[in-house]
Structure 1
Amino acid sequence: MLDHLFFNGRIQSMDHEETLYEAIGIKDDKLAFLGTNQEAERLEALRRIDLNGKLVLPGFVDTHLHILEYAVSKITAPFFDCTSAEQVVARGREYAEKQGPYRGWLLGWGWNQNSFTGEKSFITKALLDQVSTELPVVYTRVCGHIAVANSVALENIMKMEEAKKLSAYIDPETGVLQESAAFLHKLLLEPLTEEAVTALMTMGQAELNKEGITSIHSTDFMGMPDGQWRQVVHAFKKMDRENALTVRVYEQCLFNSIEEFQAFLSEGYTTGVGSPYFRVGPLKLFTDGSLGARTALLELPYSDDPKTCGIQSFETEALREFVKLADQNRMQIAVHAIGDGAIALTAGLLSEVIEARREAGEALNPLRHGIIHAQLTTPELLGKMKRADLVAYIQPIFVPTDMGSVEARIGRERMEKVYAWKSMRDMGIRTAGGSDAPVESFSILGNIYAAVERADLSGVPEGGWLPEEKLSVMEAVRLFTSDAAYPSFDEDRLGTLAVGKLADLVVLDRNLFDLKSREILEAKVAMTMVGGRVVYKM
């Protein structure tokens, strides 16, 4: 007897043959039947659901986001729609009065000077002093790689031993904190309890399920004091034991020091440790910042600011030490790299350990190391990524936001293979889709639209930006289903609909494969199921 039997649908398996079915049956947490309506009529089931022609896909997977940061962004001041520094200040004051501090600080997220209609300059310490001169205030840029502190916050930060080591990234006059320094205030927040993690995750996963997301690769240790990653791990484990997780978490593990990473390993954690709902994923590393903040590391200076090539987040030997230690402990590695300089550095470091394993007789890239973002590539860099079989964790949703500024940043002569998702796939580079939320929305349908149309939400530019890099709808859906299962070693459990695989699926109210252009954005998630449980229903 099946628990659920769905019939009269368009069930796209996303397997290599693109097999279509009309009916799908679920028993416990697994798929137990796929077939025709006629075959389904002969089966017994506790619940029979008429899909009325709706589309069923494997549950969506977001292979790079920050779910706890996303939840925090929902309870602190949001600046994503602000069009001036003055509006940021006004919004900040409003939230300070209504919401008060979060863990002792007034925090906000999402300002973007490129969206300001007037002067396109960073907000400053002097502006944030207008929000409060008594409480510490830190507002983080949309990319997460720049933050600005008011006088009180900066005074507290400058007393830290860590601030002395990162003084090159701190401007005392403006209060601007770059890269690693942008996370320093998090070390001063009131401690994050396991209960707080649970509350944040509960909020975040409900929003994920509404978007049809059933699995995430999430970076949740960012900027925490040494040891506080344990609160995150323990909270997720507790939620798992209590069957409270409605999304599968593959944790991308970021550490402030090699010593803390060693402590993590010494407690028995490495890639794959965990349960079907919470597992340790890769070591997460940074090699550079963001394009919007001009901290992405370029091989040559920025065209619109020749004084800088961006920032290398860690010294090369420190990165190499992390990479070697992870590889020795058979821990996967996923490295944030946006600029061509950072991608070259990352590909080189990862290739060192990959080639060593190959010489020892192992398969090419057996731990599935990869590069997160990989935006400013070149034909040469794509070749290096292919030769090392590196995974590219890409974010199509970045295109509508970034397309208006990329050429100004790097110049027309460096535009040949940027945001080159189609080129990557045609070359056989393994690609998996993500959102980097809260930097961008984790709407999978929005991501699919961006990959297919390469345009903003109003359809501009007509024909798309760098249209040769457009994906088909099938290719774009694969980024978040069948291809997204590979980085987490889940291709035998998730990503396609097949008997014996986990019953993670999403039902859409219309057939994406029949839609054109902005029609994709009008589709809605009708239902999300994780492990045979309905976790969202429209």
Structure 2
Amino acid sequence: MIILAIFINGNVITLDNNKKNAQAFKVKMGKFEAVGSQEDILNLKEVNEEIIDLQGRTVVPGFNDSHMHFLNYAVFKSRVNLSNIASIDEMIEATKNYIKENNIKKGEWIISRGWNHNYFSDNRLPNRYDLDRISTENPIFFSRVCGHIGVANSMALEISGINETTQNPEGGVIDKKNSVPTGILRENAMNFVFNKIPAMTKDEIKKVLKSAFSDALKCGLTTIHSEDMGTAGDLKTLIEAYKELDNEKELPLRFVLQLNLMNKKAVAEAKSIGIRTGELSAMLKIGVMKIYQDGSLGGRTAAMEEMYEDTESNGVIIYTQEELDDLVLSGHEAGFQIAIHAIGDKAIKMILNSYEKLQIAYPNADLRPIIIHCQFTNKKLLEKFKKLNVISNVQPSFVMTDWPIVEKAVGRKRAYESYNWKTMLNLGLKVSFSSDAPIESFNPLYGVYAAVTRKNLSGEPEAGWYSNQSLTVEEALKCFTLGSAYMNFEENYKGSIEKGNLADFVVLSENILQIDNNSIKDINVLASYVGGKRVY
């Protein structure tokens, strides 16, 4: 670690409202010791202190992605890549090649994620019979890009105990045709398969995490909030893997672990091993208890008050109101901050009801409850966000992939009230940005670009999708830094470049406040620093 250093000749975007710009700063013992003009900072130079010339480059606080699935990203780097598949035949061919190239043995599970049937020339979901064309001697399970729908081949269905007589689980759907499972599993129905997939070992978790750290650092991420339970398969093993990496000084950036505790039994397990929201070290923290209340837009499982325009459904609710109320209360009483996944307005309404009851039960607690995604809202819902101090954790990059399907799914009126981040900020809501990787790229500059332009990486639509909801660059930067810090109770020492804050910062190739907004996506990260140490 650079214990003592002065950085000069920079265009420092501090995001500190009291001093928005600076030319230099001093780092000492992992924190910003002083921020100001070059002359003032050089006057603070100590004996043998290193001076680093930023050569006029732009510096911003380190990016803080407040919700992703980093272990999932790392694991699937080494599995068959389904993210750019354009047809079911292409999926089959790619997987056959993967089996051959990796010498996959008979009986081994073949698992991957990333297909999106909206891009298939077949224009349909894959089914068990498609995957049987790949292999009938290996159990196969492929999750859709959203993670809320999956498809299993016949062998995987058999191993999982899914047949004609299997009933839908609570909060899930087994698609059937003439009473025969098609292989498509939605929401909690996927747990039939997940429960049969062997959990990762501690060493496997550590190895794959280390293989992906550099990917995050080169994007300027200095803190990641990651929900990894679904990939790891075991809570205690997951926590031990991260703790060992931390103790071995192998974590080059800060991690906040978000734990998917889907029932009271899981909450009790976490409590039994002493896990609750709080700091474990300077580099590792236990964050929120994360649960799901609905599904995804792409899978039409997001829970809506009204029916979808293109299917006879209004989505899937995971918990009844009473169940949700009980789980939220149990999580809080076990010492967890609560974050709940919700895309549809019906799911959001139910969560707000639960949070209101929690606030009544604990009126003096600093709860900072969170709703992750918040895509389909309206004025009444957002006013309740404000009343209850609920934090909106949103993924600006979603607009890049979702805009072509939103109106088809919900119609123009509901589309107009969706993805409305500017309205959230104008109402004074606390907004935190994230990527939900691997669903979207965790490059935060893509997220800033999407928030500011409301376009995809190809520049479509030309005028921006509902551009009245576009943010300024400064607003987007704050959501990716200060917003995420606030969400994690860290706003007093993280998220801006000011005296006393953690020295987490990023050097950019361009001045992000002056470059054409359409070029933000092309900015490169030249260096990333965590606690004053250069890690990229």
Which TM class, normalised by the smaller chain length? over 0.9
Name the amino acid aligned to 2:338: I
Q: Is the 8 A contact 1:69 1:438 kept in 2?
A: yes
Partner Cα distance (1:528, 1:94) in 2: 37
Alignment of 1:105-254 (within 5 A): 105-116=109-120, 118-158=121-161, 166=169, 169-171=173-175, 172-222=180-230, 225=233, 228-254=234-260
Partner Cα distance (2:89, 2:321) in 1: 40
1:94 and 2:100 are equivalent in the alignment: no
Could you say which residue in structure 1 is the equivalent of 2:409?
409
Q: Is the 8 A contact 1:158 1:164 kept in 2?
A: no
Partner Cα distance (2:162, 2:316) in 1: 24
Moved over 6 A (4+): none
- TM-score w.r.t. the length of structure 1 is 0.94
Could you say which residue in structure 2 is the equivalent of 1:480?
480
1:78 and 2:78 are equivalent in the alignment: no
Q: Is the 8 A contact 1:105 1:136 kept in 2?
A: yes
Q: Is the 8 A contact 1:397 1:447 kept in 2?
A: yes
Partner Cα distance (1:380, 1:3) in 2: 51
Partner Cα distance (2:348, 2:262) in 1: 21
Q: CA RMSD in A?
A: 1.9
Displacement of 1:149 after TM fit?
0.5
- Could you give the per-residue CA deviations for residues 13-45 of structure 1, whole angstroms, max 9, x where no partner exists? 111235211112212211222222223333135
Name the amino acid aligned to 1:287: Q
Name the amino acid aligned to 2:63: F
Q: Is the 8 A contact 1:378 1:416 kept in 2?
A: no
Could you say which residue in structure 2 is the equivalent of 1:419?
419
Name the amino acid aligned to 2:301: T
Displacement of 1:491 after TM fit?
0.8
Name the amino acid aligned to 1:351: E
Name the amino acid aligned to 1:484: S
Partner Cα distance (1:399, 1:434) in 2: 13
1:531 and 2:531 are equivalent in the alignment: yes
Q: Is the 8 A contact 1:141 1:147 kept in 2?
A: yes
Alignment partner for residue 59 of structure 2, among 56, 59, 67? Answer: 56
Partner Cα distance (1:8, 1:106) in 2: 52
Structure 1 alignment gaps of length 5 or more: none
| 2:222 alignment partner, SS class | strand
Pair 238,477 (structure 1): closer, same or farther in 2 beyond 3 Å: same
Displacement of 1:64 after TM fit?
0.6
Partner Cα distance (2:71, 2:190) in 1: 17
Name the amino acid aligned to 2:339: A
Alignment of 1:319-358 (within 5 A): 319-358=324-363
Name the amino acid aligned to 2:169: L
Partner Cα distance (2:257, 2:117) in 1: 31
Displacement of 1:181 after TM fit?
2.1
Could you say which residue in structure 1 is the equivalent of 2:275?
269
Displacement of 1:159 after TM fit?
6.2
Q: How many residues align?
A: 525
| 2:256 alignment partner, SS class | strand
Displacement of 1:85 after TM fit?
1.2
Alignment partner for residue 293 of structure 1, among 280, 284, 299? Answer: 299
Name the amino acid aligned to 2:294: D
| 2:535 alignment partner, SS class | strand
Pair 415,369 (structure 1): closer, same or farther in 2 beyond 3 Å: same
Name the amino acid aligned to 2:435: S
| 2:66 alignment partner, SS class | strand
Pair 100,389 (structure 1): closer, same or farther in 2 beyond 3 Å: farther
Displacement of 1:191 after TM fit?
3.0
Q: Is the 8 A contact 2:432 2:483 kept in 1?
A: yes
Partner Cα distance (2:118, 2:412) in 1: 19
Q: Is the 8 A contact 1:6 1:49 kept in 2?
A: yes
Larger CA deviation: 166-175 vs 82-91: 166-175
Partner Cα distance (1:100, 1:332) in 2: 44
Pair 223,323 (structure 1): closer, same or farther in 2 beyond 3 Å: farther
Partner Cα distance (1:22, 1:421) in 2: 31
Larger CA deviation: 183-192 vs 48-57: 183-192
- Could you give the per-residue CA deviations for residues 445-484 of structure 1, whole angstroms, max 9, x where no partner exists? 0000000000111211122101110000000111111121
Displacement of 1:423 after TM fit?
0.2
Partner Cα distance (1:296, 1:18) in 2: 42
The percent identity for this pair of structures is: 34
Structure 2 alignment gaps of length 5 or more: none
- TM-score w.r.t. the length of structure 2 is 0.94
Q: Is the 8 A contact 1:330 1:367 kept in 2?
A: no
| 2:286 alignment partner, SS class | strand
Pair 258,184 (structure 1): closer, same or farther in 2 beyond 3 Å: same
